[in-house]
């Protein structure tokens, strides 16, 4: 386990003493809930380099690492409690703190629109109350999830299949009859290799980063939901920043979020790459596809609303087309 306390104490002392030389530059400790060989993390590291190059004297980011530093499903709590200052994660990985987090997969509007229609304000209200977090920016958008299987299926019936999940897929795959087991991304390769699972949920992209194509026979189309990966900040740390530091971080985060327009093209390339690697597509007919998608959203929202009768319906109204 990494010891963070001494540096935290130093950072706190500097933040509390604005007269001290150097107090106007702050360094935030950043972790990723995704394994470091994922494309997501490469993008994060590139962004951090830019933030640091342009942020001298204002704000610096120190990338600590991925799940080897803090395990995937513990990142949320580490951020809430201030063990780290910033994280790249997805809502499904911190449903232990707040079930509402998983609703971000159900957004049907691009981030820019969610900023305008009040959805981000609402997210920030709930994230602050429940998880002591500031929701900074979404860095994956416009990306469907898919079911990948190693046994051929010809209808939307998952009876007899054992599937790797995170909370993203749990209610949906169970509603289709599947048996589910939660596994962090870093451990999926071994589960596939050993035949512990017959398939898994994952976005259309980035399975090559983890070599899962070596043990994947079929991708089921259509995709469903909208993969969400975001930057989140410990709320106390966010509030302790100066106005200039907050403005700087916001500007850089918005620039990162604006890169979301690249996902569509990347995803098309990734689908081709899967075909070249021999992953076959199982395509449902139009009527089955519609039923499959309707079911995905129906059980997705039902799960959120059941877990959060207070915020679920409001999020649904703000997130849906
Ligand atoms: O691990 C996952 O399948 C998952 O929940 C997820 C969410 C967003 C992006 C990538 C994966």
Note the pLDDT tens digit of each residue in 117-170: 999 999 999 999 999 999 999 999 999 999 999 999 999 999 999 999 999 999
Specify whether 172 is located in the same domain as 117. Answer: no
Ligand 1 pocket test, pick from 43, 166, 186 with the greatest ligand atom count within 8 Å of Cβ, gives 166
Specify whether 258 is located in the same domain as 278. Answer: no
- pLDDT of residue 49 exceeding 80, the answer is yes
Specify whether 132 is located in the same domain as 168. Answer: no
Task: Specify the ligand 1 atom closest to the Cα of 168.
Answer: 5
**Structure-token pair, residue 252:** 């850089």
Q: What is the pTM of this model?
A: 0.93
238 vs 9, residue with greater confidence: 238
Distance 73 CA to ligand 1 centre (A): 12
Proportion of the chain above pLDDT 70, given as a percent:
93
Specify whether 282 is located in the same domain as 179. Answer: yes
- pLDDT of residue 3 exceeding 70, the answer is no
Task: Specify the ligand 1 atom closest to the Cα of 206.
Answer: 10
Task: Specify the ligand 1 atom closest to the Cα of 202.
Answer: 3
Specify whether 192 is located in the same domain as 77. Answer: no
pLDDT of res. 8: 47
Q: Is residue 12 part of a domain?
A: no
Q: Over the stretch 228-276, which tens digit does the pLDDT of each residue have? A: 999 999 999 999 999 999 999 999 999 999 999 999 999 999 999 999 9
Task: Specify the ligand 1 atom closest to the Cα of 143.
Answer: 9
| pLDDT tier at 14, thresholds 50, 70, 90 | very low
Average pLDDT value for residue range 64-89: 98
Domain that holds residue 313: 145-226+270-319
Specify whether 219 is located in the same domain as 232. Answer: no
d(CA 110, CA 105): 12
Distance 206 CA to ligand 1 centre (A): 10
| pLDDT tier at 22, thresholds 50, 70, 90 | low
For helices 167-175 and 286-307, the axis angle rounded to 10 degrees is: 120
Q: Is residue 281 part of a domain?
A: yes
Ligand 1 pocket test, pick from 203, 204, 263 with the greatest ligand atom count within 8 Å of Cβ, gives 203
Distance 15 CA to ligand 1 centre (A): 35
Instruction: Show which of 264, 285, 311 is a domain's final residue.
Output: 264
Ligand 1 pocket residues where CB is under 6 Å: 90, 92, 140, 166, 168, 185, 201-203, 227-229
DSSP states of 229-272: EEEEEEHHHHHHS-HHHHHHHHHHHHHHHHGGGGHHHHHHHHHH
CA angle 286, 141, 30 (to 5 degrees): 145
d(CA 225, CA 292): 11
Distance 147 CA to ligand 1 centre (A): 12
Specify whether 231 is located in the same domain as 293. Answer: no
Specify whether 55 is located in the same domain as 135. Answer: yes
Average pLDDT, the chain: 94
Distance 202 CA to ligand 1 centre (A): 6
Distance 33 CA to ligand 1 centre (A): 10
Proportion of the chain above pLDDT 90, given as a percent:
93
- pLDDT of residue 37 exceeding 50, the answer is yes
Give me the residue label for tokens 């209808």: 155
Ligand 1 pocket test, pick from 41, 67, 90 with the greatest ligand atom count within 8 Å of Cβ, gives 90
Specify whether 110 is located in the same domain as 53. Answer: yes
Average pLDDT value for residue range 266-290: 98
pLDDT of res. 23: 61
Q: Is residue 3 part of a domain?
A: no
Nearest CA to ligand 1 atom 3: 202
Specify whether 314 is located in the same domain as 171. Answer: yes
Nearest CA to ligand 1 atom 11: 202
Specify whether 93 is located in the same domain as 219. Answer: no
- pLDDT of residue 61 exceeding 70, the answer is yes
Specify whether 290 is located in the same domain as 251. Answer: no
**Structure-token pair, residue 233:** 């900040």
Domain tally, the chain: 2
């Amino acid at each position: 386990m990494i010891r963070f306390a001494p540096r935290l104490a130093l950072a706190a002392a500097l933040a509390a003493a604005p007269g001290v030389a150097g107090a106007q530059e702050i360094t935030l400790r950043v972790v990723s809930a995704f394994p470091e060989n994922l494309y997501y993390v490469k993008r994060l590291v590139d962004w951090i380099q830019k933030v640091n190059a342009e942020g001298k004297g204002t704000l610096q980011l120190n990338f600590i690492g991925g799940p080897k530093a803090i395990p995937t499903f513990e990142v949320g709590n580490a951020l809430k409690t201030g063990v780290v200052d910033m994280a790249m994660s997805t809502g499904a990985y911190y449903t232990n703190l707040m079930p509402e987090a998983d609703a971000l997969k159900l957004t049907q509007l691009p981030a820019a629109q969610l900023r305008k229609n009040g959805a981000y304000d609402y997210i920030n209200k709930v994230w602050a109350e429940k998880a002591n977090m500031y929701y900074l920016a979404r860095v994956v958008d416009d990306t469907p999830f898919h079911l990948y299987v190693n046994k051929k299926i010809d209808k939307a019936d998952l009876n007899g299949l054992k599937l790797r999940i995170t909370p993203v897929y749990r209610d949906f795959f169970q509603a289709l009859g599947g048996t589910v087991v939660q596994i962090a991304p870093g451990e999926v390769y071994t589960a596939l290799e050993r035949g512990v699972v017959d398939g898994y949920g994952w976005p259309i992209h980035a399975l090559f980063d983890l070599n899962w194509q070596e043990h994947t026979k079929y991708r089921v189309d259509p995709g469903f939901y909208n993969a969400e990966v975001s930057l989140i900040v410990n709320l106390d740390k966010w509030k302790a920043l100066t106005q200039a530091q907050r403005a700087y971080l916001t500007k850089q985060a918005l620039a990162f979020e604006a890169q979301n327009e690249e996902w569509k093209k990347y995803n098309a390339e990734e689908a081709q790459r899967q075909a070249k690697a021999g992953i076959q597509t199982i395509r449902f007919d139009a009527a089955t596809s519609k039923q499959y998608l309707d079911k995905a959203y129906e059980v997705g929202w039902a799960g959120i609303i059941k877990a959060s009768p207070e915020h679920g319906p409001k999020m649904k109204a703000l997130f849906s087309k």
